[in-house]
Structures are given as structure tokens and as C-alpha cells.
A and B are shown apart, each in its own frame.
Chain A
Amino acid sequence: DIQMTQSPPTLSAAVGDRVTITCRASQSIDIWVAWYQQKPGKAPKLLIYKASTLESGVPSRFSGSGSGTEFTLTISSLQPDDSATYYCQHYYIPRTSFGQGTKLEIE
């Protein structure tokens, strides 16, 4: 099975900062990665799919990049509402898996 190793597990940054979260796949998965944001008590929300495609309605400060085994989620200018846990997920049929999550705190 393909494993997704996500880092860092926690991240603290100030409003306006640029932050980057990384996911590394245990084997090449082309561009088949999605990123989700989850706030406490809520279901995950899709941010990015196919590594770099921004979901409709998601602010443009969110961006994704990568292919093969290395993927990144970047928030260009952190806002207070971005406090959440972020997960990557691969889509490489017929199975899938998630990264361990990154808890982002606003200083």
C-alpha cells in the first residue's frame, strides 16, 4: 500500500506568514493528490485536487504543487480563519490513504 508521510505534524505561524505543508508518497502517484482542511467538529473540506487545481470557492492564497512523490500545500498569507488541521490524500486506485495531518495554529 502507498503511504503518505505528512510534515510537520504541528505548525504555528502569524497572520500574514507564508506556510508550507509537505506530503511525501512512498511511491510515485503522478499528480493524484488532494488536500483537505478540517476544523474541529466539522467534516473535511476540499481545498486542492490533482496536486494543484484549486477547488471552486477556495481562496487563492491556497495553492498546491508537486508530482511523483513530493507534494506541497502553501498558504501565501495566513489568515485567522486558516486555523485548522490539514490532510493530504492520494488517489491511486483501487485504494487510498491520508497523511497524518498538520495542525496549524495562528500565533
Chain B
Amino acid sequence: EVQLVESGGGLVQPGGSLRLSCAASGFTFSDHDMDWVRQAPGKGLEWVGRSENKPKNYNTEYAASVKGRFTISRDNSENSLYLQMNSLKIEDSAVYYCVVWFNGYVAPWGRGTLVTVSS
């Protein structure tokens, strides 16, 4: 059974940093692209970025809104995905989900972890 468990969210001041983690199980981690997706309170889903799979050399891609501030990494030995968030802004406040890509879809979704950027 595929499981994704996000952690590391919390309250941080503007300009601060936070590192999110995602523990994955139930599939061969290195074979799959992994994304971070976020959802601000009362808003829609926003793609944050991607760590591609082993055949694609674990290449990373980012949304324009986070490029240069956020870094995605993965530890294939630990089946874990990470999101390092620096220079956080109030508008980065959201529930952050990590998701795994199968053949054209992501499922299931984890519960997410809440990040609140506030002074």
C-alpha cells in the first residue's frame, strides 16, 4: 500500500527557513517522480516543484513562485523526500503535500503538513 507521511511544518517568521520531510513507502521510491504541492487556506492547489526519478537523474524543477528559495532533495536509501524552504514569505503559508507520480496521476495523497509564516 502506498503511503506518504509529511512532517516538519510549523510556525515561522517571514524571512525564516523550514525543512519539510516526506516518508514514502509501498513503492520503489527511486523509480518515481515526486512532487511537492501546496494549498493556501481557502485556495486551490499549487504545484511547488518536482524531483524526477532515477532514469532522469533526479532532476529538479520548480514553480516560478519558489525558484531560488526552495530546494527539493531526496534520500533514496531512506525513501524520503525533502523540501528546504528559505526566505519564507507570508504567501508561502499553506498545507504542503508530497505526492508520487504513477502513470499520469498522483495518488494517494498524504495528510499534508501545515506551514504558517507570520510575525
Contacts and interface: CB of A to CB of B under 8 A. Distances in A.
Interface of A: 1, 31-32, 34, 36, 38, 43-46, 49-50, 55, 87, 89, 91, 93-101
A46 B105 contact: yes
Interface in B58-87: 59, 61, 64
A49 B104 contact: yes
B47 A95 contact: yes
B26 interface: no
A49 B44 contact: no
A45 B110 CA distance: 10
Interface residues of B, number: 25
A94 B110 contact: no
Given A43-B97, A101-B45, A96 B35 contact: yes
Given A44-B45, A44-B109, A46-B105, 18 more contacts: A1-B64, A31-B104, A43-B112, A46-B107, A49-B103, A49-B107, A50-B105, A55-B105, A89-B105, A91-B104, A91-B105, A93-B52, A94-B50, A96-B35, A96-B50, A97-B47, A98-B37, A98-B44
